[in-house]
Amino acid sequence: MTSLLRPCVWLVLLLAASFGMTSLRPLFAALFPTLERPVYLQEGFAALLLAHLELVAVSGVLAGIIGIAIGVAVTRPWGAAYRGLAETLSAAGQTFPPVAVLAIAVPSMGFGPQPAVLALLLYGLLPVVQNTIAGLTQVPPAVLDAATGLGFSPFRRLWRVELPLAAPLILTGLRVSVIITIGTAALASTVGVTTLGSPILLGLSAENTAYVLQGAVLIGLLALAVDAMFDAALTLFFAGAGRPAGGTS
Amino acid sequence: MRLRPPDPVLLPLVVALGMVPLGLAFVTVARNRLVTGRPMPLWHAAQGPEAILSLAGLALLLLAALKRGPWLAILSGVLVMGGLGWIAGDVAQLQAISQPAARVSLGGGFWLMQALAALCLVEAARQTGRAGKALATLLVAAATASLMMSGTLDDLSLLREYANRRDVLGPALLRHIEIVTLAVAPTVLIGVPLGVACYRREAIGRLVLPTLGVVQTIPSIALFGLMLAPLAALATWQPALARIGISGVGMAPAVLALLLYSLLPIASNTQAGLASVPDSVRDAARGIGMTRGQIFWQVEAQLAFPALLAGLRITIVQATGLAAVAALIGAGGLGAIMFDGLFTGALDLALLGAIPVIGLAVTADLLLRLVTPRATDRAPS
């Protein structure tokens, strides 16, 4: 069960840091003696974490559902005409830096959380679509023929055969998507959304290094905890198939 | 003669393209730079020859979708894109005559129509293959260049911001490239030997690659933040370091963070490239009497080179985006213009920073793809 240990450690650290940051005041006061306010108190860190998670969860869940649906649709006979376009777009779109996408999308749709979710969702779709297509097309034709020969309906074949076989790659795509979203959501603070990026931005503009450090530690721990959870899920269910090469924002 | 059904991809795109003006504003007109503009629909904006041009383009695009003519789709798609740009530019020129301070910004309708037309181009180019791709790229570039050179777009808010910041944009672009270069060049010098070491000694690989993976997982804004305090402390402790530019904010933490990010794609691609060399090739090399050094330089390094270039491409594209975030810690570059616009609520200024960032990333990707030999071209059969 060592595979579960790593996510648990990161998770405990994350929760301890978000609930206990304020009680570390003496430490930050000692580290940054010149600062009048060594701990960010505008919002509680747990509330910031929750707001951040909400943003990531909404866009992540939607990106997962829509991305997998697109990937499934373009690999069916009736949607095959769109597969080339979906592949080209999901590959080319990922060359666009996420921060630039946020900078273009959010102001043009109005400032605030909803446009940010939309921008995060659109960008988060790309790795999910790409990996769902890759996962579904690598299912060997012989397996599909066998399922059809057993009398599986197309839907049952998809649900019981294709999706389970494609699951490791789909989960890997979701992992890349969610990790990018966690980082980009932090940047959404620049367009007025309250996230874990807020202490960093306030700290940078008010030259309060302690605020920057507090926000940075929490964002880092959040990304590592979520990544470790995906890693554990992949190891537990699929014996560690498909580690991503990277993906940051 | 058998009737072919219409193109299943292009037709819905063209229909959507035609419906966008019904729902979304084509441009917004504001009294000055900072107030919110009021929306202007396409049918109020469109007049003169450019309206006829766009309409003709749309009709031809529809014909191309119905008759399955990808080449016609490329030509008419560019016609639509150029025509819409011309319409927007003309509206801005008209407004500029009556109210010099008025700002005409491109609206959601404009961007969505351009995006849909671009999708038509992408699909048509995909159907025609390489020549179509080249033609589409060339035509879009020519249309953009001629609209820009003729001054048609000069009164659009985006171009006015450009005119105001012309002397800042060039240096910002250079600074951006400088940050990326300063980070990526040492990364290659460190990352390639590291990748070789990871390949040679599995124990090193098991230690180094997951550690670099952890660094990659930490979001950029957090890594920049984490660098800030130690580097600032370092600079106060040793003022000599501060004099050579090491401090919590500015280039130093940005370049350092980018370097850490870039190590993983370079090292892991080097390792993977070397690992993908088949043992039979190595055996053959040994069989004809090559020394270990010869095998490495003349066989393994050659065969692993495409993978290394792919790693370099990922690295440069990634670093270009991350360098924009680095503007938050005072590294300058295009990100500074972008965040300036975001913080002050000046949308067109944000665009002025963001568009070149995307341009740089896409250009770097294209150039490195062009010079990367396909793995299959060189791989032994």
* Sequence-distant (≥ 6) Cβ neighbours of residue B70 within 8 angstroms: B64, B123, B124, B125, B127, B128, B132
In the predicted structure, residue A69 carries a pLDDT above the cut 70: yes
Using CB atoms, which residue from A88, A203, A249 is nearest to B219?
Answer: A249
Specify the pLDDT at position B47: 84
Specify the pLDDT at position A103: 86
Look at A243 and A55; give whichever has higher pLDDT: A55
Look at A29 and A142; give whichever has higher pLDDT: A142
Average pLDDT, chain A: 89
Specify the pLDDT at position A249: 47
User: B218–A224: do the CB atoms touch at under 8 Å?
Assistant: yes
Fold classification of A2-238 (topology level): MetI-like fold (1.10.3720)
In SS3 terms, chain B reads as CCCCCCCCCHHHHHHHHHHHHHHCCCEEEECCCCCCCEEECHHHHCCHHHHHHHHHHHHHHHHHHHHCCHHHHHHHHHHHHHHHHHHHHHHHHHHHHHCCCCEEEECHHHHHHHHHHHHHHHHHHHHHCHHHHHHHHHHHHHHHHHHHHCCCCCCEHHHHHHHHHHHHHHHHHHHHHHHHHHHHHHHHHHHHHHHHHHHHCHHHHHHHHHHHHHHHHCCHHHHHHHHHHHHHHHHHHCHHHHHCCCCCCCHHHHHHHHHHHHHHHHHHHHHHHHHCCCHHHHHHHHHCCCCHHHHHHHHHHHHHHHHHHHHHHHHHHHHHHHHHHHHHHCCCCHHHHHHHHHHHCCHHHHHHHHHHHHHHHHHHHHHHHHHCCCHHHHCCC
Domain positions in chain B are 10-155, 161-378
**For chain A, what is the largest distance between any 2 Cα atoms, rounded to a whole number of angstroms?**
75
Look at A109 and B374; give whichever has higher pLDDT: A109
Report yes or no: B102 and B90 within 8 Å, Cβ to Cβ: no
Specify the pLDDT at position B244: 66
The answer to whether A181 faces chain B, any CB pair under 8 Å, is: no
The whole-number mean pLDDT for each consecutive block of 10 residues of chain B, a chain of 381 residues, reads 80 94 89 82 88 94 92 95 94 89 88 94 91 92 93 90 91 95 95 94 90 92 88 77 69 89 93 92 91 90 91 94 92 92 86 93 92 56 35
Kindly state the tokens that stand for B266: 């370079």
CATH 3.40.50.300, applies to B161-378: no
| Other Cβ atoms within 10 Å of A201 Cβ, number | 22
Specify the pLDDT at position B374: 62
Q: For residue A243, which residues of chain B lie inside 8 Å, CB to CB?
A: 213
H helix or E strand, kind and range, residue A223: helix A209-238
In the three-class reduction of DSSP (H, G, I as helix; E, B as strand; rest coil), residue A61 is classed as helix
Kindly state the tokens that stand for A123: 């960008």
For range A161-167, the mean pLDDT = 95
Q: Give, rounded to a whole angstrom, the gap between the first and last alpha carbons of chain A.
A: 31
Specify the pLDDT at position B100: 84
Of B259, B214, B325, B178, the closest CA to residue A201 belongs to: B325
Query: What residues of chain B, 201 to 230, have a C-beta less than 8 Å from chain A?
Result: 213-214, 216-226, 228-229
The answer to whether A112 faces chain B, any CB pair under 8 Å, is: no
In the three-class reduction of DSSP (H, G, I as helix; E, B as strand; rest coil), residue A161 is classed as helix
Specify the pLDDT at position A2: 66
Indicate the residue type of B226.
L
Using CB atoms, which residue from B219, B232, B342 is nearest to A219?
Answer: B219
Using CB atoms, which residue from B221, B321, B351 is nearest to A200?
Answer: B221
In the predicted structure, residue A245 carries a pLDDT above the cut 70: no
